[in-house]
Structure 1
Amino acid sequence: MSELWPHARIQRCFFHIQQNVIRYTTKHPNLEAGEEILNLTNELMKVRSKQQAEQWKEKYDN
Structure 2
Amino acid sequence: MVLPDRRWAALLGRFPAPRVVITDDGSGIAAALSECWSETAVQRCLVHVQRNVRTYLTGRPRTEAGKALLRLGRALTRIHAPAEAAAWLAALHDWHQ
TM bin, normalised by shorter chain, reads: 0.5 to 0.7
TM-score, length-normalised on structure 2?
0.46
CA distance in 1, matches of 2:49, 2:55: 10
CA distance in 2, matches of 1:37, 1:21: 8
Displacement of 1:12 in angstroms is 1.0
Pick the structure with greater CA Rg: 2
Corresponding residue for residue 42 of structure 1? 74
TM-score, length-normalised on structure 1?
0.66
Instruction: Name which structure has the greater RCO, CA cutoff 8 Å, separation 6+.
Output: 1
Displacement of 1:52 in angstroms is 1.6
Corresponding residue for residue 7 of structure 1? none
Displacement of 1:61 in angstroms is 2.9
Structure holding more strand per residue: 2
One-letter amino acid matched to 1:57: L
Corresponding residue for residue 22 of structure 1? 54
Q: Quote the sequence identity (%).
A: 33
Of the three residues 49, 55, 60, the one matched with 2:87 is 55
Q: What is the root-mean-square deviation of aligned Cα atoms in Å?
A: 2.1
Gaps of 5+ in 2: 1-19, 21-41
CA distance in 1, matches of 2:73, 2:57: 11
**Matched residue pairs, number?**
54
Gaps of 5+ in 1: 3-9
